[in-house]
C-alpha cells in the first residue's frame, strides 16, 4: 500500500478523544509500558522522542523535540493532565521550560543524571555508598587512587548506562590510558568493593504525598547488563534499611512519581549505587507479580490518584532479552512477555519476560525452562540464586 | 491547540512499525481490549468502524467502511496477518469480500446474527434449546401461540441485543400489537420458560485446531442488560454439558477464534439461548481471573499461536457500568477496571470492573463494596448469589 494511502487510512487516529492526556519525555519501552497502564482508563499519551520508531509509538503520538515550537505548544495544551519522563537525559532547555510542571521535578533529574551529584546527595542524607572522588583530570585520578586504593572504578558523571561509560583500573600503569578513554568528560572515581549481589528498591510517591514501596529485588548482571531479577528478596533487615533510605530521598525531593535505587550488598551492608527517577527494568516483574505494577502506580502518582497494592503475589522473576529475542508466537503463551519492537543489536534490550510462581522451586523450574531462548543469559548456579542465596556474579 | 497542529504533532503515528498487523471488523470496547492484548507483543490493529470516536481508536487506526476502496486496499495489504471481528452485524458485501480470510469464517457470522438460524443449528447438532417457531406474519404468530403456549417471547431474528428487539406476549389479546411493534422484521417466537439463572461458556479454537474452554460463568441481568458475572460457576455436570455442546459448535464450524454461548438453566437443564462468535461481556472477568484472558486467547487463536491457560485463579466477578460510570480516579486502584470512553447514555455499557478474590466470601465483600457506584446495579440477594446459589432474577 502506498504511504499516502496509509496516511489516509490512519487519519482518524488524530481525532481520538482520550479522557485525559499525559506527555512523557522519552518514548522507549518504559514509556510504552506506562502508556499500557493508561489504556484501560482512557489516559492517552504523547511521547517526546527523536526516534520516529521509538517503542512507545505503538501507544501514542511521538513528538520530535527538535521541532521546538510544536513541542512547546503541545506541552502548553490545557488538556495535558501531567508531564512526566521515562529517562534522565532531558535537555536543560526543556527542563527549564517545564519548571514547576514536570513530575518528578527538573531538580530530581539534574541530580540523578549526574553520578557525582547522586553521591553527594547520598552523603548529605546519611545514605551509605562506596567512597568516591570527583575526577576532572589525570591528577585527580592519581589522587583518587591514593585515597580509594586500587582496583578502583572510573565512571563518567553523565550518560553511562548498561555498563557503558565505566572501566576498572587495576594498577597504576593503567591510569593514563583510562583517563585518555574518558576525557574530556567529567568523571568520578569509586572504590572497587567486592559485593555479593546487587539489589534494588522501587518506590512511588503521589502528588498527594502518599508513598508505597515494592519488595526488595535481587538483580543479576552479565557483561554489565541486567539479565535476571528475582523478587521478593526476603531479607527483612535489608529491606527495612532500603525503604528507610529511599523514603528519605522521596521526602527530600517531595518527589512525584517513581524512584528506583540500586544497591550493592557488601559484607552484609547496603551501599547505594544509582538512582533512577522513573520506572526501572528491575521492576518489570511487578506487572505480573503485584496487583498494581510500577507503571500503574507511576500513573496514579503523577495524577494524584490513590496508589495501588505493591505487595508481591508470589515469587516472581524477570528475564531480559538482550541482543536477540524470541518470536512473538513463542512468547505469546506467557502473560508477562513483552517485545519492544526495536531492531536487534548486540547488548540491546529487546524485550523481557516476567513470571510469578507459586513457590521458589516452581520459579526456579520456570526460569530454567528459558535457558537457550534467544537473548537469554542465565547464571550457572541459577538454582541456588532462585532459592534466595546471596552468592553473586558480574 | 488548532487541529492542524494536532495533526502535525501526530503525524508520526502513521509511521509506527508493528511486528504484525490485524484488522478487526468493529471498533467497540471488545476491539479495544483485544488490541490491548496485542500491545506487549507488537501486534498492531486497525478497526473498521463508522464511528470516528469508537473506543478502539485509542489503540489503532479506524477505517471507515463507507470508504470502500480504501478499506479494500487496506484489507488486501500483505502485511495484514489476520482479519477478525468483534461484532456480528457485518455487511454481506464485506463478508463476501473476506470469504476464506475472516477468522471466524463469514458463515459463522451469517448464522449467529440470525436467531432462527442459531436455533436451527442447535437442533441440527442435538443441542437443547427452548421450543421455537419462525414468524413472518400475524398468522404465524397465532399458530406459534397454539404450539408453544402463552406467555411466549417474540424476538426479531436479527439485530437485537441487551433486551432490544424482544417482547413477551402474555395473552392472545396482545398478539396484534406485538406483531405491529415488530413488523416488517422477520421474527422468531420462543416458549417462555421459567429459568433459574443464565450461564455462559466461552471457548477458543486456534487456527491449529487446539481448543480451550473457560470455566462456566453465571450472569445476572437487570432490565435485559448484563450487570454482574460470577465465575467459576462450580457445577461440574452443567459445565461438562456446556463444554460438550460448545465443542460441537467449534468442530462443526472448524471455528477460528472465540465462541461464547449463553444458556438458560431450566429445571436443572441447560437450554442454549444465543451464540456470539467473539469475546463476550460475560468473559471480561478472565482479564484478572485467568492467566490468559479471552482477548489474549482470541489473538493467539487467529494467529495460530499456542493457547494460554484458561483455568480460574480464584472466585472472580465482573460488574458492568451501565448508563453512568465512576471517574477514572475512583477506578484507578482496581487493576481490572476499564472505561470505554463512550458518551454516557441510559442503558449504555460505559465500562466495567473485574476482580478476583481469594474465596467466595471475600468476593461477596468486594462486590458489595461497589454498591452505590455510578452505573452499578447489584441484585438484592447478592450475598446468596455470590455464594453460588441458583436463585435468579430478570
Are A12 and B61 an interchain contact pair (Cβ–Cβ within 8 Å)?
A: yes
Residues in chain A with CB shorter than 8 Å from the CB of B299 are 332
Residue B247 and residue B329 share a domain: yes
Q: Is residue A18 very low, low, confident or very high in pLDDT (cuts 50, 70, 90)?
A: low
Residue A290 and residue A383 share a domain: yes
Looking at residues B149-168, what average pLDDT do you find? Answer: 88
The answer to whether B328 contacts chain A (CB < 8 Å) is yes
For chains A and B, count residue pairs whose Cβ atoms are closer than 8 Å. 175
Judge whether B109 lies within some domain.
no
Residue A229 and residue A348 share a domain: yes
pLDDT at B14 over 70: no
Neighbours of B147 (CB within 10 A): 12
**Structure confidence at residue A184 (pLDDT):** 87
Phi, psi of A319 (to 5 degrees): -120, 125
Instruction: For A215-272, write each residue's pLDDT tens digit.
Output: 999 999 999 899 999 999 999 999 999 999 999 999 999 999 999 999 999 999 999 9
Residues in chain B with CB shorter than 8 Å from the CB of A5 are 70, 73-74
CA angle B182, B187, B192 (to 5 degrees): 95
Instruction: For A297-314, write each residue's pLDDT tens digit.
Output: 999 999 999 999 999 999
The answer to whether B69 contacts chain A (CB < 8 Å) is no
Q: At what angle do helices A138-148 and A175-182 cross, to 10 degrees?
A: 130
pLDDT at A285 over 80: yes
What's the CATH code of the domain at A155?
3.30.1490.20
The shortest CB-CB distance from B10 to any of A13, A58, A307 is to A13
The per-residue pLDDT of chain B, averaged, comes to 91
What's the CATH code of the domain at B85?
3.40.50.20
Judge whether B117 lies within some domain.
no
Give B235's DSSP letter.
-
The answer to whether B109 contacts chain A (CB < 8 Å) is no
**Structure confidence at residue B198 (pLDDT):** 95
Instruction: For A109-125, write each residue's pLDDT tens digit.
Output: 999 999 999 999 999 99
Query: Who wins on pLDDT, B168 or A387?
Result: B168
Shortest distance between the Cα of A154 and any Cα of chain B, in A, equals 37
Instruction: For A31-83, write each residue's pLDDT tens digit.
Output: 999 999 999 999 999 999 999 999 999 999 999 999 999 999 999 988 899 99
Instruction: For B323-344, write each residue's pLDDT tens digit.
Output: 999 999 889 888 899 999 999 9
pLDDT at B390 over 90: no
Q: Is residue B159 very low, low, confident or very high in pLDDT (cuts 50, 70, 90)?
A: confident
Do A43 and A22 contact (CB within 8 A), yes or no?
yes
**Structure confidence at residue A385 (pLDDT):** 84
What's the CATH code of the domain at B274?
3.30.470.20
pLDDT at B11 over 70: no
Residue B157 and residue B52 share a domain: no
**Structure confidence at residue B196 (pLDDT):** 87
What residues 281-320 of chain B have any CB closer than 8 A to a CB of chain A? 291-292, 296, 299-300, 303-309
Judge whether B392 lies within some domain.
no
B231 CB-side CA count, 13 A: 31
**Structure confidence at residue A334 (pLDDT):** 87
Judge whether A392 lies within some domain.
no
Give B281's DSSP letter.
G
* CB-based burial label for B97 (10 Å; 0-12, 13-18, 19+): middle
Judge whether A121 lies within some domain.
no
Residue B379 and residue B233 share a domain: yes
Residue A203 and residue A156 share a domain: no
Final residue before a domain boundary, out of B145, B162, B191: B191
Cα(A309)–Cα(A275) distance, integer angstroms: 23
**Structure confidence at residue A13 (pLDDT):** 38
Instruction: For B189-221, write each residue's pLDDT tens digit.
Output: 999 998 889 999 999 999 999 999 999 999 999
DSSP codes of every residue in B349-392:
EEEEEEEE-SSHHHHHHHHHTTTTSTT----TTHHHHHTT----
C-alpha A185, offset from chain centre? 23
**Structure confidence at residue A10 (pLDDT):** 43
Q: How far apart are the first and last CA of chain B?
A: 49
Final residue before a domain boundary, out of A191, A206, A231: A191
**Structure confidence at residue A11 (pLDDT):** 38
Residue B159 and residue B97 share a domain: no
Strand partners, B201: B261
Instruction: For A369-378, write each residue's pLDDT tens digit.
Output: 999 999 999 9
Query: Who wins on pLDDT, A86 or A9?
Result: A86
Are A333 and B300 an interchain contact pair (Cβ–Cβ within 8 Å)?
A: yes
Residue B231 and residue B363 share a domain: yes
Strand partners, B331: none
The shortest CB-CB distance from A337 to any of B19, B41, B307 is to B41
**Structure confidence at residue A60 (pLDDT):** 92
Residues in chain B with CB shorter than 8 Å from the CB of A309 are 333
Domain that holds residue A15: 3-102
Final residue before a domain boundary, out of A64, A86, A102: A102
Judge whether A275 lies within some domain.
yes
Domain count, chain B: 3
SS (H, E, C) chain A: CCHHHHHHHHHHHHHCCCCEEEEEECCCHHHHHHHHHHHCCCEEEEEECCCCCCHHHHHEEEECCCCHHHHHHHHCCCCEEEEEECCCCCCHHHHHHCCCCECCCHHHHHHHCCHHHHHHHHHHCCCCECCEEEECCHHHHHHHHHHHCCCEEEEECCCCCCCCCEEEECCHHHHHHHHHHHCCCCEEEEECCCCCEEEEEEEEECCCCCEEECCCEEEEEECCEEEEEEECCCCHHHHHHHHHHHHHHHHHHCCCEEEEEEEEEECCEEEEEEEECCCCHHHCCHHHHECCCHHHHHHHHHHCCCCCCCCECCCEEEEEEECCCCCHHHHCCCCCEEECCCCCCCCCEEEEEEEECCCHHHHHHHHHCCCCCCCCCCCCCHHHHHCCCCCCCC
Are B341 and A308 an interchain contact pair (Cβ–Cβ within 8 Å)?
A: no
The per-residue pLDDT of chain A, averaged, comes to 91
Instruction: For A310-331, write each residue's pLDDT tens digit.
Output: 999 999 999 999 999 999 988 9
Residue B341 and residue B216 share a domain: yes
pLDDT at B149 over 60: yes
Judge whether B126 lies within some domain.
no
The shortest CB-CB distance from B70 to any of A8, A73, A335 is to A8
Residue B235 and residue B94 share a domain: no
pTM as predicted: 0.89
The shortest CB-CB distance from B42 to any of A1, A291, A328 is to A328
Judge whether B121 lies within some domain.
no
The answer to whether B333 contacts chain A (CB < 8 Å) is yes
The answer to whether A18 contacts chain B (CB < 8 Å) is yes
pLDDT at B1 over 70: no
Q: Which of B207-211, B286-290, B307-311, B385-389 has the lowest mean pLDDT?
A: B385-389
Q: Which three cell numbers stand for residue B229?
A: 458475572
Cα(B229)–Cα(A345) distance, integer angstroms: 47
Strand partners, B218: B199, B230
Q: Which percentage of chain B shows pLDDT scores above 90?
A: 83
Q: Which of B42, B331, B338 to mutate to test the interface with A (most CBs of A within 10 A)?
A: B42
pLDDT at B376 over 60: yes
Residue A201 and residue A172 share a domain: no
**Structure confidence at residue B18 (pLDDT):** 63
Residue A344 and residue A203 share a domain: yes
Amino acid at each position: 500500500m502506498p504511504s499516502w494511502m496509509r496516511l489516509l487510512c490512519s487519519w482518524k487516529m488524530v481525532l481520538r478523544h482520550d479522557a485525559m492526556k499525559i506527555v512523557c519525555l522519552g518514548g522507549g519501552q518504559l514509556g510504552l509500558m506506562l502508556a499500557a497502564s493508561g489504556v484501560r482508563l482512557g489516559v492517552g499519551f504523547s511521547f517526546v522522542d527523536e526516534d520516529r520508531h521509538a517503542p512507545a509509538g505503538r501507544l501514542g503520538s511521538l513528538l520530535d523535540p527538535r521541532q521546538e515550537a510544536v513541542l512547546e505548544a503541545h506541552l502548553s495544551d490545557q488538556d495535558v493532565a501531567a508531564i512526566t519522563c521515562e529517562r534522565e537525559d532531558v535537555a536543560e532547555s526543556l527542563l527549564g521550560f517545564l519548571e514547576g510542571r514536570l513530575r518528578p521535578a527538573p531538580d530530581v533529574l539534574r541530580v540523578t543524571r549526574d553520578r557525582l551529584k547522586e553521591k553527594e546527595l547520598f552523603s548529605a542524607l546519611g545514605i551509605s555508598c562506596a567512597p568516591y572522588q570527583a575526577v576532572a583530570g589525570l591528577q585527580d585520578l592519581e589522587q583518587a587512587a591514593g585515597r580509594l586504593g586500587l582496583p578502583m572504578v572510573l565512571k563518567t558523571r553523565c550518560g553511562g548506562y548498561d555498563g557503558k561509560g565505566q572501566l576498572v583500573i587495576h594498577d597504576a600503569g593503567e591510569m593514563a590510558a583510562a583517563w585518555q578513554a574518558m576525557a574530556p568528560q567529567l568523571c568520578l572515581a569509586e572504590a572497587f568493593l567486592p559485593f555479593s549481589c546487587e539489589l534494588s528498591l522501587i518506590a512511588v510517591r503521589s502528588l498527594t504525598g502518599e508513598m508505597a514501596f515494592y519488595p526488595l529485588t535481587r538483580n543479576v548482571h552479565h557483561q554489565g547488563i541486567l539479565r535476571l531479577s528475582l523478587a521478593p528478596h526476603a531479607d527483612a533487615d535489608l529491606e527495612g534499611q532500603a525503604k528507610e533510605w529511599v523514603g528519605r530521598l522521596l521526602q527530600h525531593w517531595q518527589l512525584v512519581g517513581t524512584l528506583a535505587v540500586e544497591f550493592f550488598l557488601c559484607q552484609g551492608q547496603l551501599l547505594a549505587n544509582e538512582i533512577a527517577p522513573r520506572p526501572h527494568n528491575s521492576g518489570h516483574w511487578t506487572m505480573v507479580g503485584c496487583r498494581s505494577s510500577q507503571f500503574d502506580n507511576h500513573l496514579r502518582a503523577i495524577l494524584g490518584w490513590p496508589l495501588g497494592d505493591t505487595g508481591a503475589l508470589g515469587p516472581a522473576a524477570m528475564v531480559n532479552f538482550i541482543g536477540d529475542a524470541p518470536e512473538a508466537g513463542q512468547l505469546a503463551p506467557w502473560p508477562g512477555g513483552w517485545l519492544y519492537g526495536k531492531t536487534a543489536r548486540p547488548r540491546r534490550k529487546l524485550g523481557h519476560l516476567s513470571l510469578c510462581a507459586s513457590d521458589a522451586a516452581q520459579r526456579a523450574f520456570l526460569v530454567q525452562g528459558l535457558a537457550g531462548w534467544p537473548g537469554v543469559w542465565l547464571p550457572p548456579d541459577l538454582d541456588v540464586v532462585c532459592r534466595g542465596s546471596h552468592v553473586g556474579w558480574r
